[in-house]
Amino acid sequence: MKKLNVQKGRKLSRDAQKNISGGGLELQACASGCYDRYFSDGQGNCLVPPCSAPNFGSEIKEVDGRWKCCY
């Protein structure tokens, strides 16, 4: 029984390593809308986690003067 548990633990470890290294991750679709917290490239493109490149949004200045990242 202990050997079986160790083998399952090793398999889980390999799967976890695959996901951590990015091998198991897929590009995530970004929900449409505007977000306050985002990363900017300084050229009008922005990125909201968990979105990943090339899913860039556009920086837009709202009426109240605040910048948002919109998709």
What single string gives the DSSP state of each residue in 1-35? Answer: -HHHHHHHHHHHHHHHHHHHHTTT--PPPPPSSEE
pLDDT digits over 6-49, tens only? 444 455 555 555 554 444 445 556 778 999 999 999 899 999 88
Interatomic CA distance for residues 34 and 38, integer angstroms:
10
pLDDT digits over 55-70, tens only? 889 999 999 999 999 9
pLDDT score for 21: 46
